[in-house]
């Protein structure tokens, strides 16, 4: 039994599509490594730009920290000698003492500020502070005390 002309045309169309699909697949496999190289180059460029921007930011912060350290170290370092032991059981409420009155606006929940600090425990041991190697570290930047994760009582002491 012979095939009709329509069937033969259909077979040739299907065969042609299979041929084009196969050739297209091989072409795509040959082009893909080029795309990978382009992607890798774009990633490397973005990474280099990020590294450069990060290094510039780090230098800027370091310069600012050094400037602020020279300005405030003498005043701030004297407070580290005030650290002393206390009886934790005797503490019934948070006591706030302004060591130095600031010149800016009053601190509220959403006030953006940068602070230096000394944290110590009941034994009088400093567990964290802004002083390191005879100078002040970069201040702790806060996007509002209410939005910053710090130890219990610290936020309340700021506001």
Candidate from 2-6, 34-38, 115-119, 140-144 with smallest mean pLDDT: 34-38
Identify the residue with better confidence: 55 or 83. Answer: 55
Task: Give the 3-state secondary structure of residue 80.
Answer: helix
Position 139 pLDDT exceeds 80: yes
CB-neighbour burial class of residue 114 (10 A; exposed 0-12, middle 13-18, buried 19+): exposed
Mean pLDDT of 126-149: 88
- State how far the alpha carbon of 127 is from the alpha carbons of 18, 29, 93, 145, 152, in Å: 72, 59, 21, 21, 15
Q: How many Å apart are CA 141 and CA 145, to the nearest integer?
A: 10
- Which pTM value belongs to this model? 0.63
**Per-residue pLDDT tens digits for 14-54:** 999 999 999 999 888 887 777 777 888 899 999 999 999 99
Task: Give the 3-state secondary structure of residue 135.
Answer: strand
**CA angle at 98 for the pair 96 and 155, rounded to the nearest 5°:** 50
Q: DSSP assignment, residue 2?
A: P
């Amino acid at each position: 039994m012979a095939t009709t002309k329509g069937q033969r045309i259909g077979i040739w169309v299907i065969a042609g599509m299979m041929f084009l699909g196969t050739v297209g697949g091989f072409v795509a496999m040959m082009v893909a490594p080029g795309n990978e190289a382009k992607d890798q180059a774009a990633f490397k460029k973005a990474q280099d730009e990020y590294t450069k921007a990060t290094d510039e930011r780090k230098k800027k912060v370091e310069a600012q920290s050094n400037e602020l350290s020279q300005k405030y170290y003498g005043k701030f370092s004297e407070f580290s000698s005030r650290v002393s032991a206390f009886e934790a059981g005797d503490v019934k409420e948070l006591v706030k003492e302004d060591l130095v009155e600031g010149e800016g606006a009053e601190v509220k929940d959403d006030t953006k500020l940068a602070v230096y600090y000394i944290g110590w425990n009941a034994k009088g041991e400093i567990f964290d502070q802004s002083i390191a190697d005879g100078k002040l570290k970069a201040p702790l930047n806060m996007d509002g005390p209410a939005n910053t994760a710090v130890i219990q009582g610290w936020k309340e002491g700021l506001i």
